[in-house]
Every structure is written in C-alpha cells, then in structure tokens.
Amino acid sequence: MLIITFGLILFFSSSQSESLFRPNLPLGEYRLVIDKVYQCETTKNHPIKFNVYLSKKTSSITELKGNATFLIPLDDTLTIDFNFASWGSTGGWVPNSLIIKTKKACSNVKHLGGNAWFNFIESFNVPTDKCPIPAGTYITSGIDKKKLEDMNYPKIYFYGKYKAVLRYKNLKNEVVCCVVVEIKLIRPWETPI
C-alpha cells in the first residue's frame, strides 16, 4: 500500500512538471495598470483641459470617458514636465521617482505615447494624429483603458504604485494643462487588485 501511495504521489507530481519561475524581484518587465485620471489643479482655468474619468463597463472592462478641451493647439512650442511620485513604504507619495522635462511637447508625447497615442486620438475623434493637435473640444464615448497602456516608456522599471503629474507649459513657463494619472506597475503574471 505504501508503494502504491508513493507511486501515485510521484506520478501526479511529475505530471505537473511545468515549473514556472516567477521571481519576486523589485524590478523587471511590467504590466501597466491605470487606476485614476484627474486634473491636478481643478480651480485653475487652463487653456487645455482633460475632463476624463474611468468608468466600469463590465467586470473585466474599464473605459476612459469624457472630453478634452483645447482652447489653444497642442503643438511643439509647449514644453512638458512629467514628475512621477512613488508610493512610500510607510505611506504617502514620494516625489521625483522619475522626472522627464522636454521641449516639443506634442511630438514627445506622441513618441512616448506609442500605440496609446493613436488609440487616444482615434477614440476622441481628433481630426489628425500628427502634431499640432488643433484647438477644439474632443469627446469620447469610451475607450478601453487597456488600449492606453501600450506606451513607449522604459520596459523595465521598479514595481509599485506611482502618481504621474503631467504639466504642459507655454513659452512664458506658465502651466497651460495639468493632469494626474495614478498607475501600478505589476509583474506580468500578477493580476490587478
């Protein structure tokens, strides 16, 4: 009886020989999960506004809905200032995890946005996917947030929770748009909570 039990244990353990190596390292390739999108300075009347929000369509699909209002064109005369804050080990946001400051805002956002740029442009019915984006109000009935996660950011980074503050500035260094996106970078095999 002992030999039969041992034989069955050996058989079942060898039949599940697919050994998955899933290291618990602090950084590596990641999946990007968008948690929140909102304006960071709601009391200011900026010439570029993203009035967007996340809406649950089904249990597995969350959409970005809302509108984008451009009183001025989004062009390469603007500069862009990304400041990523990481969630601290004792709680609270710790700024300056990653800083990107660059000129030619439209071209650089298009490059960094990758496929997400084209999905955003198409969903918001913007007349062109080239820079500059003309002034106007662009409305979307909804775009799956997973389509906005395919960007040209570094493919390897530290896992965790981040808050990206995106500011567009004009030639006078005045903020013309301010948006916050809260994200999680998770391991490829993990599921979002």
- Phi first, then psi, for residue 45 (nearest 5°) are -100, 80
How many residues are present in the chain? 193
Give the pLDDT confidence of 140-180 residue by residue, as tens digits. Answer: 989 998 888 888 888 888 999 999 999 999 999 999 999 99
Contacts of residue 164, defined as CB under 8 A and 6 or more positions apart, other chains included, come to 82, 83, 84, 85, 180, 181, 182, 183
Distance CA 160, CA 27 (A): 9
Contact 160/25 with Cβ under 8 angstroms? no
Q: What is the pTM of this model?
A: 0.81
Residue with tokens 């997973």: 146
Look at residue 70 and tell me whether its pLDDT is greater than 80.
Answer: yes
